[in-house]
Structure 1
Amino acid sequence: MTRRLDDEEIERQLGDLPAWTRDGDTIRASWEAPDFLTGIALVQEVAAAAETMDHHPDIDIRWRTVHFALSTHSEGGLTQLDVELAHQISQEAARRGAVAAS
Structure 2
Amino acid sequence: MLVATSCILRSYPLYTTLFRRNMSKLSESQRDTLLKPLLDSNGWAMVTDRDAIKKSYVFSDFNEAFGFMSRVALRADKVDHHPEWFNVYNKVEVTLSTHDCQGLSTRDVDLAKFCDKVAKASKQ
Bin the TM-score by the shorter chain: 0.7 to 0.9
- Aligned-pair CA distance for 1:14: 2.8
Matching residue's letter, 2:81: H
Asked if 2 retains the 8 angstrom alpha-carbon contact of 1:14 and 1:21, the reply is: no
Q: How does 1:1-102 map to 2 (within 5 A)?
A: 1-17=22-38, 18-23=42-47, 24-97=50-123
Structure with higher strand content? 1
Asked if 2 retains the 8 angstrom alpha-carbon contact of 1:45 and 1:92, the reply is: yes
CA distance in 2, matches of 1:25, 1:7: 13
Structure with higher helix content? 2
TM-score, L = length of structure 1: 0.87
Give the SS at the match of 1:92.
Answer: helix
TM-score, L = length of structure 2: 0.73
CA distance in 1, matches of 2:81, 2:89: 25
Q: After superposing the two structures, state which structure 1 stretch, 5-14 or 24-33, moved more.
A: 5-14
State the Cα RMSD in Å. 1.5
CA distance in 2, matches of 1:16, 1:6: 15
CA distance in 2, matches of 1:45, 1:16: 23
Q: How many aligned positions are there? A: 98
- Could you say which structure has the larger radius of gyration? 2
CA distance in 1, matches of 2:31, 2:57: 21
Q: What is the CA deviation profile of residues 19-48 of structure 1, one whole-angstrom value per residue up to 9, with x for unaligned ones?
A: 211123111011001111000000000000
Structure with bigger RCO (C-alpha 8 Å, 6+ apart): 1
Q: After superposing the two structures, state which structure 1 stretch, 8-17 or 52-61, moved more.
A: 8-17
**Identical counterparts, % of pairs:** 29
- Aligned-pair CA distance for 1:59: 1.1
